[in-house]
Amino acid sequence: MISWRVYLLRCSDDSLDFGATTDVDHRLQEHNQGAGARYTRSRLPVALVWSSGELTKSDAFKEEYRIKLLSKAMKEGIIDTGGNKKKSPGEERQG
């Protein structure tokens, strides 16, 4: 069975984008090469700030939809409470 993950990205303008994929690292690379979502193309670079545990495809898309309905503050709460936290683009540039 293929494992899916939901992920949150922080864009260079501090906005958040999210999606579902079977390969988070590859998807992050696609976003940063400008081949990802239209939303992120004008907000590069992006950094992975959270990803879920392994999910079924169905559960991943349900979780993605649930996150879509959240306010930015609530999405920030997801990032703050756990997952695979990463640095924001500004933090990566600083060191």
The pLDDT of residue 36 = 85
The pLDDT of residue 85 = 44
Is 50 inside any structural domain?
A: yes
* Domain limits for position 23: 5-88
Is 95 inside any structural domain?
A: no
Which tops the pLDDT comparison, 80 or 22?
A: 22
* Identity of the residue numbered 67: I
> What does pTM read for this prediction?
0.82
Is 84 inside any structural domain?
A: yes
Closest CA to 92 of 34, 36, 10, 8: 10
Tell me the pLDDT tens digit for each residue of 31-58: 999 998 899 999 999 999 999 999 999 9
Residue 15 contacts residue 43 (beta carbons within 8 Å): yes
Mean pLDDT for the stretch of residues 50-77 = 96
Residue 65 contacts residue 6 (beta carbons within 8 Å): no
Q: For the chain, what is the domain count?
A: 1
Mean pLDDT for the stretch of residues 20-38 = 95
Is 13 inside any structural domain?
A: yes
CATH code of the domain in which 37 resides: 3.40.1440.10
Is 93 inside any structural domain?
A: no
Is 58 inside any structural domain?
A: yes
